[in-house]
Structure 1
Amino acid sequence: MGTAAGLQSAGRTWALGARGICYLGIAAIAWGTVIRVEVGAWTYHYSDQGDYMWEQARNYCQTFFTDLVAIQNKQEIEYLNKSLPFHGRYYWIGIRKLGGIWTWVGTRKALTKEAENWAAGEPNNRRSNQDCVEIYIKRQQESGKWNDEPCSRKKKALCYQASCQPLPCSQRGECVETIGSYRCECYPGFHGPECEHVVQCAELEPKGARMNCSHPFGDFSYNSTCAFRCQEGFEQRGAGTLRCLASQQWSAETPTCTAITCPVLRAPEWGELNCSHLHGDFAFRSTCAFSCQTGFVLKGSETRECTATGTWTGDAPRCEAITCPVLSAPDRGDLNCSHLYVDFTFGSMCVFSCQMGFVLTGSETRECTATGTWTGDAPSCEAITCPVLSAPDRGDLNCSHLHGVFAFSSTCAFSCQMGFALMGSETRECTATGTWTGDVSRCEATTCPVLRAPDWGDLNCSHLHGDFTFGSTCAFSCQKGFVLTGSETRKCTATGTWTGDAPSCEAITCPVLSAPNWGELNCSHLHGDFAFRSTCAFSCQTGFVLKGSETRECTATGTWTGDAPRCEAITCPVLSAPDWGDLNCSHLHGVFAFSSTCAFSCQTGFVLTGSETRECTATGTWTGDFPRCEAITCSALATPKMGHAACSHLHGDFAFGSTCAFSCQTGFVLMGPETRECMATGTWTGHAPHCEAVSCPVLATPSKGQLSCSHEHGNFTYNSTCAFSCEEGFVRMGAEVLWCAATGNWTRHPPVCAEDAAPFLKQVLAYSSGTALAVAGIVLSGTLIALLAKRLSNREEKKKLLNPTSDLGSPGIFTNAAYDANL
């Protein structure tokens, strides 16, 4: 259900309707209530229920209306700001950033600078995700301005409904939406508010041509077309069809009809032309007559007429020269003709000549006349002759004659007897000048190539017919240290070649040498690899020394001087394992020799000091320092307080294998292990022991007495002393001072405090005399006896009190006899 808002704009009154004007059915339930502001044919719409993301808002507008609103001018913004109600989240409009450009989505047109309506500081595209645009409606500040926002925010959808009808503008223009109305942008050729008027062109009046027109919008108006054609024999000049354009001009000038022309005729070569023209030179119905000059005959039509198709009747005539019989060249001769018109026709001129070696007899030139005959007589050619030839001395002559004996083109071949070579031309030919080609031939003895002594060799020759000619013989030999390879003798044959092969002197070779193991070989070869006078120098690689000859030379006997050398590895001093350690060596070239490597290690409880590995160098010395194995040390142990430590060191003070025994002084007992040993890990076995003082039983303060103790090593421990005293009226029964002995016992039993009887006895004795004294003594004795009996009855109880551990049979408790003595 929708609500319409009422406005007054541009002189019109917009009625405010009640809810319930527009029912959208199911779509209204999905999108909420529709609010429509209606302005004539163009309307705005928004929903009053629910907010949508930009894409949802556009889908809403496209579903029920046309699209999100496209704002065209400032007046439209003022109208919307005044008409729409305030909404805290504002309204989406139809502009969005596409490809980095703010674009009206409905028209796909970019936002121009002039049409921008951004609020201050906008668009800022904060965090590069604000690609959609809202409009501030009734905002306290910058009302009606735009702000870029994230497209995921939810706002009201502001839509528009297009106003153009399905067939507006007389179907002759494009309907353009405006606020409250629309306007027609007419297509070319139309004008008026509804494009109802059509453009008119000038009426056509062709001359000499027939016209046929069609007028879709009225006579001689926009898009009227006129077709033109001419009578037979005439052709149209200009466009065949004209169209009235939107500019009120015809598409071309009015055409005209002119007589069709035929190709211009010319008089044939060696002929004449005579024409008459009815409609123009060489145009429709022109006629032409043809004729030829003396010595020529006309071939083709004598007259021709220009037709309506622009072609001439008949064939193009020509004037052909009168012909004479074809001439041919005489035997061994040539014919050279110049034809003024056609071959062998009137005016042709032919010149005769003979080939080289022949001479002409008869007319040299002949000409074709107008009667078709040649002047002069037919000529002929005869061969030229040369002087007669004879065979050379010691040779033969063989001739062939083509045109007569010793005449032009005769050829003669010359040859010599075996062992002789022809000097001069082998063949001679009689030329066109009557002379022979080449030089006079003669026979001379065949020569062989001049021989040379081979390198490091000698040559000795004998010549029969001249140096190095047929019959010459040559002997070859070599110098010391070289041997001949090839023929020892060679003879010059009749063919000009030598028998046998060219010999050479090759140096005597020695056995191939190779570099000794761990060594190098550098040779210089004077006459070839490892051949006579080759010298080789030997050297050894680093760490090796040469034994044998440093250089050797290949002798003429094919043996080497000196002895074969060898390379022996340089040795280093013999190494031995360190005390308490091991030695492990690898020897590449010999025991303790160059490149030998030795690794050192120590037995358990020892650590290596010095180089772990040593290598024998090329100088015969070892790398690194001599290692040694030192015992792993433990931390020094301290003698426990009031104790003793006795240590034995096997490999050094407090080192691996050291053992320490612990004991305590008199009156102390050892707490912890009695012995500790330094291990291979550098730690001691066990924990550090200590001496604790021997403890005596704790003493209690006597009844009616005091206890005062001094503790040297701890409460009631060895050497603690305790002194006892009694209150007034009581007497101490026992030792005054007790001492804690090393056995863990006190030196005496603890004393007790008893009532003092001395004052009573003194009073009895003071008042007694004589018999009375005796009686008193008897009485006193009885009294004392009774008192002692009472005292003795309490003795056991007091004994238990003073010595509570007596029942346990402790070895440190005093005996009853000792106790009685103290009493």
Structure 2
Amino acid sequence: MGTAVGLRSAGRRWALGSRGICYLGIAAIAWGMVTRVEVGAWTYHYSAEGDYVWEQARNFCQTFFTDLVAIQNKQEIEYLNQILPLHRHYYWIGIRKLGGTWTWVGTRKALTKEAENWAAGEPNNRRSNQDCVEMYIKRPQESGKWNDEPCNKKKKALCYQASCQPFPCSQRGECVETIGSYRCECYPGFHGPECEDVVRCAELKPKGARMNCSHPYGDFSYNSTCVFGCQEGFERQGEGTLRCLPSQQWSAETPTCTAVTCPVLRAPDRGELNCSHLHGNFTFGSTCAFSCQTGFVLMGPETRECTATGTWTGDAPRCEAIACPVLNAPVQGKLNCSHLHRDFAFGSKCAFSCQTGFVLMGLESRECTVTGTWTGDSPRCEAITCPVLNAPNQGKLNCSHLHGDFTFGSTCAFSCQTGFALMGLESRECTATGTWTGDAPRCEAIACPVIRAPVRGEMNCSHLHGNFTFGSTCAFSCQAGFVLTGLESRECTATGTWTGDTPQCKAITCPVLNTPNQGKLNCSHLHADFAFGSTCAFSCQTGFVLMGPETRECTAAGIWTGDAPRCEAVACPVLSAPDWGELNCSHLHGNFTFGSTCAFSCQTGFVLMGPETRECMATGMWTGDTPRCEAITCPVLSAPDWGEMNCSHLHGDFTFSSTCAFSCQTGFVLMGPETRECTDTGTWTGDTPQCKAISCPVLDPPSRGQLSCSHVHGNFTYNSTCTFSCKEGFLRMGAEVLQCEATGNWTRHPPVCAEDGAPFLKQVLAYSSGTALALASIVLAGTLIALLAKRLSNREEKKKLLNPTSDLGSPGIFTNAAYDANL
């Protein structure tokens, strides 16, 4: 297994830290293939027989001992360099580069600058895999130094065995190697040889606070934790959590609970405060009562209590003066108040007075008492009176009384009856002195302008209140041969104007004549437009003919001679749509008459030959010639090379809707659309198709042979022929000539070139059927091999004659079964 050397270690820690060394005697012990040198506690070991890569060396140490050695002490280096044998590949130790950092693998701790023991110029890390460390033992130069090496090199494994075992010291301390044994360095909070004892703190007994503790190592011992809380209405003074420290002291003083305080309350203005305190002045549970002085009332809660949240129940109350009903100024009066505490409350005084034109009836002042009532009764203001007024003759009187009939502020408006005008003030007002403004007014009849009789007429008037004044009436009439236009009588109105307009005597009129549609009217008037004696002549516009009398005359009876004429449009022959086309007409004056316009169009795939529109003229003839619709043509198509074309024509050769179908000869495949159709744009659907020769798989020359091909339609396509031949000293096995068929397959399987000898026999056997293999197995001499080769060649030729397609399965595939059957 290995060889061990040992030395005692004073103060070496389990898998940690630096260590001091003390040397004692060494005893040699025979132990199988291992020579073990042993001392008191710490021992070193190395592999005696095998060399290992770094990972194997570490596995060896971890399997039989503790780990690869961790060396951080020059005395150990000197000792190991003295006691270990020379090995030409040296020894692996427990340092490796992890994540770019040199690390002690046993502790996963980085190598410190102070602990480095590199040889001169090391580590040079010439290659990226120099991540493991060897130690020079008995090297002529720099013995005991370190060197980085690739981890896949093989060296001796240098191991150590510790006396501390896993989980020592009750898992409450660190195991420290000693001479011949170990000792425990206890973690804080523990003591005893094996760290089995726990530090204890004084038992906690809080006053007025709740406590909840957890004791991982025993009641009130190291790491015991106690959490403190207070009852509702109390708050904690001190830390909420205490922990027992390694010093046997608690992390803080034991907390206490004190009652929550509320803000200090004060008595309201004009009031008093009376409080009772349960846990202290103005603290949780304190209750305060409120009251007010005489003449004041409490607004808000009578009592308030300090709650657990440190706030008082309710809102702060206040003392308000007792209120009296709000006073209002008397109608047409004034109110002037002085308020001692607040508006209209205890102590308020109010004085009363009246506006101009009014007199006060009652007390001049009132006061609000402690009972919330006012002294005395409410006073009032009464208006001063004026003399009663009367309406004028032919007039009216309309008065408004604000404060009583004909009193201060009363206003009287004067007006006259219809047809009369007021002379004087329109209104009078009662003043604060008891008199009316202005003098009394009167009413006089309204006058209208003087009027005269109309020309060729007479007038007769009657007057009620005076010539041409309100109520006067005048009647009008005309001489023979004229008719009165306007009112037969007019009256003088109350506005000083006559009813209606001034009448006139005018000649008798006929109905106004209108110009016929699409015609003209020319009139001459003797007395007035369209009146007795007027004459009108009629005519029509171009394209129309007059139907009725050419002239009409207004008679004394006020009617026209004859009937009203009209203008009718000239008619053209009826038009019809062309074949494969459509007709769309607009008629201004009637179907197919002067001004009618007809538009011609063709169905999809046809083109119009002739004018697009025709118009009916004033002569009754249509413009232009009759149009027609012809099918749109496409370019003439031809059959593709090595193909055929079959076309059907609906409207003419290679015109709209013509359809052509394409196909290819045997051995060719159509590339493109199978059919093409002539569209309404004059183009064919799709692209021009082509016939492309069918391709067969590309052939390669056989090994040790040649290939010669002729291609009719393209490399390795339909009807291509390929001839195979072999170099001198080789025989062709298979068909000499292969041809590409219309199916895309070759007529035969490609041949091979085989040697004329024993190796050739193996190829023949591998290529031949099972029967041929059985026959070949008995051939022992070279002469028989040659005969067999000749026979196989003859059999291949026979197969070619019997089965030209070489296929009993899929085309172009050679099978042994078919070959044997043909034989």
TM-score range, shorter chain: 0.3 to 0.5
Q: TM-score, normalised by structure 1?
A: 0.44
Q: TM-score, normalised by structure 2?
A: 0.44
Larger Rg: 1 or 2? 1
